[in-house]
Structure 1
Amino acid sequence: MKLIAVLVLIALVLITVIIIVLIKKKHEEKNAKRPDIVQQSISLPIPDTIPLSIYEGQKVISLANFVPDLPDELEVNEGDELTVVRVFADNWAAVDLTRDGKTYSGRVPVHVWTGVP
């Protein structure tokens, strides 16, 4: 029984890793095809020594448009004010956006407000 439980756990981990890799690949392919997502020339690069988590809880302004592919992603327009809820290790972030008195939540790549790919 223990062996079966271990094998099931390993299978679940492998499936999760495969799903993450496929989602990341889809995001990379989508962003490679998007000429309208352009880095702003006035943006300053973020030094490697400063973690992106310093943005958590902060309000930031979107420097680029972002069109979602997945249901948990949020459509963002250049100039939108976002509240960063959490930054993830894969350079995506959970954000809140208030538009027309309604708050929307979702995930966006951090380059949307940092300008750094």
Structure 2
Amino acid sequence: MYFDVNLDSDIFDYYINHDYKGIVIAGSGSGMISKRWKSKIKEMTKNSIAVVRSSIATSGSVDRDSIDREYRTIPSYTLTPLKARILLSLALEKSNSYEYLKGVFEKY
């Protein structure tokens, strides 16, 4: 999902209510997102939905940040949103454990 400051955060209720296992959010700049989205992201991660932070920027990296510790999100590092989605899909076939997924993104 691409971040848009005007996109209502209630869109995440769909993912929460339909048993999604993971989502990649392409945030602005270095993968940053709004306060409205953060509360929904916390709700998703509490419901065991993996949330990977990526960026719409064409270069650079989304590195670990305080948001990852607080909201249990996973940075995509140098992966584009599409590549992060593919890696997340593959990793979720094995486990949806936060520690496992975090390790996969750190490695690849």
Taking structure 1 as the reference length, what is the TM-score of the superposition?
0.23
Taking structure 2 as the reference length, what is the TM-score of the superposition?
0.25
Greater share of strand: 1
Max Rg structure: 1
Greater share of helix: 2
